Amino acid sequence: MGAYAVYLHLDLLEVVPGRGAQRGLIMRFVRSLAEDPHMPGDFTDQDQSLRRRQIKVIGDFAVTYWVDEPVKAVMVVSVRACRQMKESPNHQVETNRCQASRLGSWPVVGNSFPVCHPALTAAVAHLKRSAALPACCNPAMKYPSPADIAEMKARGYDPTTIAEAEQQSKRWTSAQEVCRVIEAAFAGVTLGGGVGLQEAQGLDDYADADTCAAYRANDEKDDWHRISAEALNPCSSSLSFFDAEGMRFHLPAYLLADLRGDYGCGMAFCLTQTSDFDRYFRLLSHAQRRAVRTFLLHILDDRDYQFERSHVLRALDEYWTEH
C-alpha cells in the first residue's frame, strides 16, 4: 500500500503547541498516518453524516481523523487539548485513559469519545482504583517496575492488568541495563567549548551573538546529570544545533530521559535520520558509540518507535555498527 496524503486544516495548527515535546508527539503521529492510515484510535465517534472517526490521545491532546479511501487521504479534522473537556463528565474517563495507556491496559471497548458512563464503568472495573493509580501509571514512568507491580497487587488490580504489567516489566529491566551502559560510557563528560542547551535554542531562534552568549552563561557545563527532563523537553530542537562537543555532553541526558519515559519527543530521528552523522557524533568514543547502539537495539521492540524501526535498522547497519 502506497503512502496516503494527510490533510490538516490550517486552523488546527493554532491549537498544536508551537514547539516542545507535545508538538513533536502530535506531528510525529500525524506524519505516521501517511504510512498507516488505518491506525486505530483509542476511541471512535461519528460526525453529523454518521461517518466513523478515530480519536487518538497524544499526550495532553486528542487528535480526530478519518480515512477518505477513494482518494487515499487521511483527514485530520480536530486537535483538542484534553483540558478542554475538564468541565464535562468525560474528563475523568480521558484522564484515566491517558494514565492507563502507559501500561497498555485500557480495555478495548467500542465506546465513542462523547459517551462517558459506559467507559467510566469499564475504567473503574478494569483499574479497580481509578482515583489512586500506582506510580507505574504515572506518565513519567515508561515501564512498570517490580515495585509498581507489587503495589498493583496490593491494591487489588485485576489479573489481566497485572499480567500485562508483568510482561512490560521485562522492558523496565532491559531499560535499567541500558541506562547503566550509558552512565558508564559518558561518566565525567563535560561541555567544554561545545554548544549549550539554551544556547542551541538561541541558534534555532536566529538570536544574535550576545543573546546566545547570555543563554550559554546559564547552561550546565560540568555535569549532564544536572540537566532535568523538564529542561530537555522544551529543547528537542537543540539536538539539531549542537556541535560535536555539545552533542557528546547532552546526549546521555536525553537518552536516559527517554528510557525513563520523561522525554516526549523520542531520540530515533536524531540518531538515525541525520544527513551528517560525523558532524554530531564524531567525538564519541568507542564505548559511547556502543552505548548508543545498545540504546537503538533496545528501542527496536518499543511500540513508541514502531514507525521508526526501518530507520533504526538502517542506522545500526550503516553507522552505529558493532565494531
Within a domain: residue 136? yes
- pLDDT, residue 43, reads 82
75 plus 190 within the same structural domain: no
Do 172 and 218 lie in one domain? The reply is no
pLDDT at 144 over 70: yes
* pLDDT: which is higher, 125 or 171: 171
Residue 34 lies inside a defined structural domain of this protein: yes
Q: Is residue 323 included in any domain, yes or no? A: no
Examine the domain organization and report whether 79 and 96 are in the same domain.
no
The tally of domains found in the chain comes to 3
Looking at the fold, whether 192 and 95 belong to one and the same domain comes out as no
Q: What phi and psi, each to the nearest 5 degrees, are found at residue 239?
A: -60, -25
Q: Are strands 43-46 and 5-8 parallel, antiparallel or unpaired?
A: unpaired
Q: Write the CA distances from 297 to 190, 201, 291, 293, 302, integer angstroms.
A: 26, 29, 10, 6, 10
What are 181's three cell numbers?
551502559
The answer, yes or no, to whether residue 102 has pLDDT greater than 60, is no
CB atoms within 10 A of CB 184: 11
Residue 19 counted as domain residue: yes
- Tens digit of each residue's pLDDT (9 = 90 or more) over 195-247: 999 999 999 999 999 999 999 999 999 999 999 999 999 898 899 999 999 99
* Residue ranges making up the domain that contains 107: 91-177
Residue 285 placed within a domain:
yes
Single residue among 128, 160, 177 that ends a domain in this structure:
177
Single out the residue of 22, 104, 86, 27 nearest to residue 60, CA to CA: 22
Quick: pLDDT tens for 240-291: 999 999 999 999 999 999 998 888 888 998 999 888 899 999 999 999 999 9
pTM given for the model = 0.60
